[in-house]
Amino acid sequence: MDGNLDLLQLCPEVVLGKYVAITSIDSGPLVPTEKEIAAGWQTRGGIGYSLRIASAEDVPRAGWDEWYIFKNLTDLGTSYLKKNSFEIPQEAGSLVVFVNYCFTPHQPEMEDLASVFWQQLERLRPETYVADNDYLSFVTMDQELFAKVRDAANALDRT
């Protein structure tokens, strides 16, 4: 099953009332459908941006997705989806996409990439980061949201 779909079914609060920036969907950039455009989705610099999310169903997803979630509308700059992560300058306006590396921040063999990841998160300061590849990576600054997701996932594991 698609990790993001499960996450939003378990805990739609991850996106409700917030703004989502999609840096990868099905391993590529978001190309909004007519319905998504009508709902306010747009793409700039290879990144898809939402208006304030009213329903978890409004978030496009396909697997191998990567999202940055903010309380305020935030422009991330330009996505370098198809470039080597270590060649992309770690500066405002440049965005490394991690999901296609089958990356998750806690893997020891990905320590170098994790360093780039944490630097980028520190610079962008999203409330939440979500990546869905072979793993579901969920990173958030909101302790209450983290507890809700953890508790919902634990309850699901017990069933």
Q: Which residues pair with 56 in a beta bridge?
A: none
Going from the C-alpha of 96 to that of each of 65, 117, 119, the distances in angstroms are 14, 8, 11
Q: Give residue 115's domain range.
A: 3-158
Higher pLDDT residue, 34 or 88?
34
Residue 97 near residue 23 (C-beta atoms within 8 A): yes
Q: Say which residue the tokens 């590849």 belong to.
A: 133
State the residue for tokens 């953890």. 150
- What percent of the chain stands above pLDDT 90? 58
Mean pLDDT of 60-73: 94
What's this model's pTM, rounded to 2 decimal places? 0.89
Q: How many domains does the chain have?
A: 1
Q: What is the largest CA-CA distance in the chain?
A: 45
Q: How confident is the model at residue 127 (pLDDT cuts 50, 70, 90)?
A: very high
* Cβ(78)–Cβ(89) below 8 Å: no
What is the SS3 assignment for 103?
coil
Kindly tell me if the per-residue pLDDT of 73 is higher than 80. yes
Q: What residues form DSSP beta bridges with 137?
A: 131
Q: What are phi and psi of 96, to 5 degrees?
A: -85, 135
Q: What span, in angstroms and rounded, lies between the C-alpha atoms of 139 and 52? A: 20
